[in-house]
Structure formats: C-alpha cells, structure tokens
Amino acid sequence: MTKLLYLLPSFLLVSLFSASAVASAGTAKLSLSPSTGVKNVGTNFDVEIRVNTGSEKINSAAGILTYPKDLVDVEISTLNSFANFFSQREVDAISGTVKVNGGVSEGITGDNLLLATLTLTPKKAGSANLAFTNQSVVYKGGLNVLGTSSGGVYTLSATPSGGLSTPVATASSTSALPKSGFTEFTLILVLLSLSSIVVGLTFKKLLA
C-alpha cells in the first residue's frame, strides 16, 4: 500500500504530460482570410474565419477572437458555413470579443472550411489586430485537436489612397480646354476674313 502511494504522484504526472502531448499534437488550424489589408474608414470589409482540419476528422470548431472595439464594429454571418448548428454566435462590443462555435452532426475534413464571416466597419484610422484567444478549439469527438491559430492585422486609412491626385488632374485638363478652344475660334475668324476678301475681289472683277 505504501509503495502504491509513492507511485501515485508519478503516475499522475505522467498522465498529465501524456494528455498535454496529445492536445499539442493536433494538426488542425484556425486562421483569418485575408490576414492583412489596407481599408478605408467608413467602408465595410469581410474577414473569414477558416478551418484547416489537417489530418483530423472534426466535429466542431470554436473561434474566439479579440478585436479593437475603438477602431472597428463587427457583425457575424454564418452563411455558407460548414457547420449546420451553432451553440455560440455573438459579438461583445463592450469587451471587444467575437465568439463563434459551430459543428456538424457527422465528422468533416477539409483544408479551407468556412466557419463564419466577420463584417468589419472601420470607425477611425489605426491598426486593427484580430487575434484568436487560447479559448479557441477544434474538436474531434471530445478531444481538442487545434494545433495552431493565426489572426490578422488591418491598416485603417482615413483618406483613400490617391485621393489628392484627382483634383490636380482635373485642374490641368480644364485649364487646357479654353486654350485649345480659343485657338480654334481665332483660326475660324481668320479663314472667314480671307474668304470674304476673296469673294469681294471676285465680285469687283465681275462688275468691272
């Protein structure tokens, strides 16, 4: 009995290490698509939560992300998702957190499965970082097989790129039009004057 008590802590330690090794050996991946981009303030854009099951046949996935609530507003759409049921689908604008948890009744595999689409509305200029938290999981049965996750960083611009070049081009083109019009008008007057002189001389000869 005493020997068993001595062996018990070692057994528990080995069990914990084994469970940790199994959890970290998962090949599934959560990611955002696109993961980068330059977007204009006030213009909505979509970011997709994608699942790569790796070598696993999964039953569900939960993407828990943080976002900068002062820079963007977020809405969730699960249209065309691989999941046919959802236990969680919410945006917490107070904490700046997105939670999407969906699954299928039977296992599924794929290297680019769509879990959900996030529609972001930029509110002001800055760098918006969306990151998966350690609460994100991908389940195969009751086992978390999530190996890695990668978020996204988006540059929010207050002024559309190239916005200053349009007025310059317009001013240049409009200033050129009056010059061209004036030259053509002057040429027409000269030709009309010459025509009048020729007609006058011809008429004078006829009278003579």
pLDDT confidence of residue 66? 99
How does pLDDT run across 138-160, given as a tens digit for each residue? Answer: 999 999 999 999 999 999 999 76
Domain 26-157 has CATH 2.60.40.680: yes
pLDDT confidence of residue 25? 53
Q: What angle do CA 150, 153, 156 make, to 5 degrees?
A: 160
- Detail the DSSP E strand segments found in 3-84: 28-33, 36-40, 45-52, 58-66, 72-77
How does pLDDT run across 78-116, given as a tens digit for each residue? Answer: 999 999 999 999 999 999 999 999 999 999 999 999 999
Contact 102, 61 (CB under 8 A): yes
Contact 60, 101 (CB under 8 A): yes
89-116 CB burial, b ≥16 within 10 A, e <16:
bebeeeebbbbbbbbbeeebeeeebbbb
d(CA 47, CA 45): 7
Instruction: Report residue 170's pLDDT band, with 50, 70 and 90 as the boundaries.
Output: very low
Which of 37-46, 129-138, 191-200 shows the lowest per-residue confidence on average (mean pLDDT)?
191-200
